[in-house]
Amino acid sequence: MAEGYLLHIIEKLIYNVGSLMAANWRMRDDIQRLIENMSDIKAVVLDAEEQEGTNLLLQVWLNKLKDALDDANNLLDDFSTEDKKREVMTKHKKAKKVHIFSSSNPLLFTFKMTQRVKDIGKRLEALNVDKRSFKLTNRSLEQRVIHQRETHSFIREENVIGREKERKRLFELLLNNKMDQKENVSIISIVGFGGLGKTTLAQLLYNDEITIARKITNSTINDEMDRRYLLVLDDIWNEDRELCLQLLTLLTDGAKGSKIIITTRSERVAKISHTSSSFFLKGLDEEQTWKLLSQLAFEDVREPENQKLVSISKDIVKKCSRIPLAIRSVGSLIYFMETKNDWLNFKDLDLVKIDENGGNVVFELLKRNYDHLPIHLKKCFAFYSLFPKDYLIYKKELIKFWTSHRYVQSSNESICLEHVGNEYFINLVHRSFFQDFHINILNDILYCKMHDLVHDMEKFVSRNDCITTTREGKHINIQTHHLSFGFPLDSSWHVLSSLLKA
């Protein structure tokens, strides 16, 4: 569950539930208690979301809280629907005769809603009491802690597979003093999905600094040589343009020929940094992928004699989407496998689940991408899990889905929601969530698909909320809100009882 997600829901509910009090005075006391309990939980929910990965009981508590909040949202929707029905009936003067047991009977509706408010209130009150056992602290969104990994300049070149071409190209950019004619300091951004090896490339280049400095010195000698520098800003996430400009103001006093290397997962970071040249890093090719896996998975870097195991391991490595960090994590786990059954069981798992046994390296890699998304994009991202892997989704179709589920919001009514939805989509593109783009003649994206690894993470974060089911109705439970069918629907299929309870 994303940090800040439930906080956002609670804030909206407190505002919207509060507006019910004036129109529904008979429920005033129950609604007031509902708001008080949500306010108490709101104070600590951010701390709870940050800790859920290490506390199973806290995960259960958060799932119960999400269910209660979803029911509260559904309650508000029913109030809104009833108001619109009465408005239409009054307009057409059909509200005079209403059967006492009709669902449109105001008294019957009020009675049912009162019971639902009481039920949700009791659940939230119990959750409010239970939260004390977790010793959660009051934390605001501004105090949220996103743990940044620490990096260094040391690297063994013999452990790096591939990237010779990329290294050569970046080396040339570092030596190119004509790259930016206007500024003394040129900025090179290495952009790509997490785990591709952006930091590794930056480490290799930084360790080439002596060679670079010698080449620069041989080509040009002047009084400003001592003021030239090479600075690496690794793993940059900040997309605040003003903060970026303030930092650049402090860094642009170097002599002509100074260079800054930025590594980032966000194309927007590269743009706001006034990058002189952006280098978009891709995955390893098939040969490099297999060589890296062999280096870590097999004794003496030799393929097993059993060709069946070789075939299985090649199927396993496909799950890694040519991402070096994922290949390394999987290769280290394969190294300790002894039987064919171990390999087969391993092959059938999603990579996120595989990684639970390997220190959660891949999981943390993916979750950091997700945690840095703003709230509105987290909802849009999770919804994509309803589509199967390798599904080519049309951009316009996806935006329509988001809009129909009210994930796309705008405070300006004059702005078309499809336009806002397009901005959401481009934002996810800039953060490297999509791949395999098909572009039209106007240079606009028509359709694309999502990285397999990202899809695994997506299924994890959406959990019970967005489910793809089988003919037998597997995975459907009472917490399911969005459902897709992983098989063709025809007249032979019957509605399952589990679906009716969801």
Residues paired with residue 185 on neighbouring β-strands, in sequence order: 258
The answer to whether position 313 is within a domain reads yes
What is the per-residue pLDDT for 226? 55
Asked if 83 and 199 sit in the same domain, the reply is no
User: pLDDT digits over 240-295, tens only?
Assistant: 889 888 888 888 777 777 889 999 988 889 999 888 889 999 889 888 888 888 88
Place of tokens 């901005």: 423
Asked if 391 and 303 sit in the same domain, the reply is no
Asked if 468 and 426 sit in the same domain, the reply is yes
Least Cα distance to 148 among 233, 231, 206 occurs for 233
CA–CA separation, 141 vs 43, rounded Å?
A: 10
Asked if 391 and 467 sit in the same domain, the reply is yes
Which of 117, 132, 147 is the last residue before a domain boundary? 132
Q: How confident is the model at residue 501 (pLDDT cuts 50, 70, 90)?
A: low
Asked if 108 and 175 sit in the same domain, the reply is no
Other Cβ atoms closer than 10 A to 22? 8
User: pLDDT digits over 73-84, tens only?
Assistant: 888 888 888 888
With vertex at residue 250, the alpha carbon angle to CA 246 and CA 252, rounded to the nearest 5 degrees, is 110
The answer to whether position 361 is within a domain reads no
What is the per-residue pLDDT for 402? 93
Which of 247, 280, 313 is the last residue before a domain boundary? 280
User: pLDDT digits over 410-421, tens only?
Assistant: 878 788 999 999
Eight-state DSSP code of residue 419:
H
Pairing of strands 445-450, 482-485: unpaired
Asked if 321 and 232 sit in the same domain, the reply is no
Residue 182, token pair as written in the block: 């206007």
User: pLDDT digits over 202-238, tens only?
Assistant: 888 887 765 555 555 455 445 555 567 888 899 888 8
Residue 127, token pair as written in the block: 């959750």
Asked if 442 and 461 sit in the same domain, the reply is yes
CA–CA separation, 2 vs 367, rounded Å?
A: 9
Asked if 318 and 427 sit in the same domain, the reply is no
The answer to whether position 118 is within a domain reads yes
Asked if 266 and 302 sit in the same domain, the reply is no
Asked if 389 and 480 sit in the same domain, the reply is yes
CA–CA separation, 274 vs 272, rounded Å?
A: 5
Other Cβ atoms closer than 10 A to 173? 17
CA–CA separation, 291 vs 300, rounded Å?
A: 12
The answer to whether position 147 is within a domain reads no
CA–CA separation, 312 vs 305, rounded Å?
A: 13
Min mean pLDDT across 94-103, 456-465, 481-490 is at 94-103
Asked if 432 and 494 sit in the same domain, the reply is yes
The answer to whether position 195 is within a domain reads yes
Residues paired with residue 188 on neighbouring β-strands, in sequence order: 261, 277
Which of 251, 280, 309 is the last residue before a domain boundary? 280
Q: What is the CATH number of the domain that holds 418?
A: 1.10.10
The answer to whether position 94 is within a domain reads yes
For the chain, what's the residue count?
Answer: 502
DSSP string, 100-162: TTSTT-HHHHHHHHHHHHHHHHHHHHHHHHHGGGGT-----GGG---PPPP--S---GGG--S
Residue 276, token pair as written in the block: 């002189």
User: pLDDT digits over 305-349, tens only?
Assistant: 778 878 888 888 887 888 888 888 788 778 877 777 877 877 776
What is the per-residue pLDDT for 95? 47
CA–CA separation, 50 vs 302, rounded Å?
A: 42
Residue 387, token pair as written in the block: 């589509």
Place of tokens 């899809």: 455
- Looking at the 3D structure of the chain, how many domains does it have? 4
Q: For residue 382, which phi and psi values (nearest 5 degrees)?
A: -65, -30
Residues paired with residue 123 on neighbouring β-strands, in sequence order: none
Q: What is the CATH number of the domain that holds 267?
A: 3.40.50
Least Cα distance to 351 among 323, 371, 373 occurs for 323
User: pLDDT digits over 170-209, tens only?
Assistant: 888 888 776 666 778 889 999 988 888 898 888 888 877 6
The answer to whether position 368 is within a domain reads no
Residue 207, token pair as written in the block: 């360790």
Residue 496, token pair as written in the block: 């399952």
Q: Which domain holds residue 296?
A: 286-349
The answer to whether position 265 is within a domain reads yes
CA–CA separation, 159 vs 68, rounded Å?
A: 50
User: pLDDT digits over 85-110, tens only?
Assistant: 877 777 665 544 444 444 567 778 88
Place of tokens 């343009």: 241
CA torsion sign for 48, 52, 53, 56 is positive
Pairing of strands 434-439, 445-450: antiparallel
Asked if 240 and 314 sit in the same domain, the reply is no
Is pLDDT of 359 > 80?
no
Total-model pTM: 0.68
Percent of the chain residues topping a pLDDT of 70: 76
